[in-house]
Homo-oligomer: A and B are copies of this chain.
């Protein structure tokens, strides 16, 4: 397998964690989102990813896109260790936690959106930082309620072993801290994210440990 990844991309980070948890070796293909006007926009990469986004996982001649679709694919083709619980209701909970991050926080804060706020909208750095923190904090506050109120929450978002939800949570918290978001009102989010981040597979997937880390 070959993973097209950018070290700081949250979505790439999620897939790196899944590959590490499942013990799957892969070749790392760096795609620099800032160099050369954005390497993801070059025709060669667009052949793999029509939406010009990382990550892309190449496996058996297929180019797979969208981090959550890639992780579901890995779950189906390499079921152990499972990243989704056994029952439909529990699986729905885990997927909802993951989508709460992947749909309702991350897309508002990725690079192309922050760029658009700068130009053409002319929002200054301070306004852009405030935008970032607004969506991260309201999104993570919702997640805090979902985690704190549920008997299913354990060391991880669902029970005591990592699921798809943790694969989304850890990169989002990493990003939130990098942009100095205030997480003091989210003790469960922080506890779970810190626990998961300490596990070897999460450590191996950390941005600082990637070949293209700066």
Please give me the residue from chain B that is nearest to A107 by CB atom. B107
Q: Is A29 among interface residues, defined by CB-CB distance under 8 A?
A: no
Residues of A in contact (CB 8 Å), total: 48
Q: Is A70 among interface residues, defined by CB-CB distance under 8 A?
A: yes
A96:B64 contact, CB within 8 angstroms: yes
How far apart sit A135 and B69, CA to CA, in the bound complex (Å)? 21
How far apart sit A99 and B53, CA to CA, in the bound complex (Å)? 12
Give how many copies assemble into the complex: 2
Q: Which residues of B contact A131 (CB under 8 A)?
A: 116, 121
- Report A's interface with B, CB cutoff 8 A: 46, 50-53, 60, 62, 64-66, 68-70, 72-73, 76-77, 88-89, 91-93, 95-96, 98-100, 102-104, 106-108, 113, 116, 120-121, 123, 127, 130-131, 134, 139, 142-143, 145-146, 149
How far apart sit A76 and B89, CA to CA, in the bound complex (Å)? 10
A51:B88 contact, CB within 8 angstroms: no
B149:A99 contact, CB within 8 angstroms: no
B76:A64 contact, CB within 8 angstroms: no
B104:A89 contact, CB within 8 angstroms: no
* Min CB gap A190→B, angstroms: 17
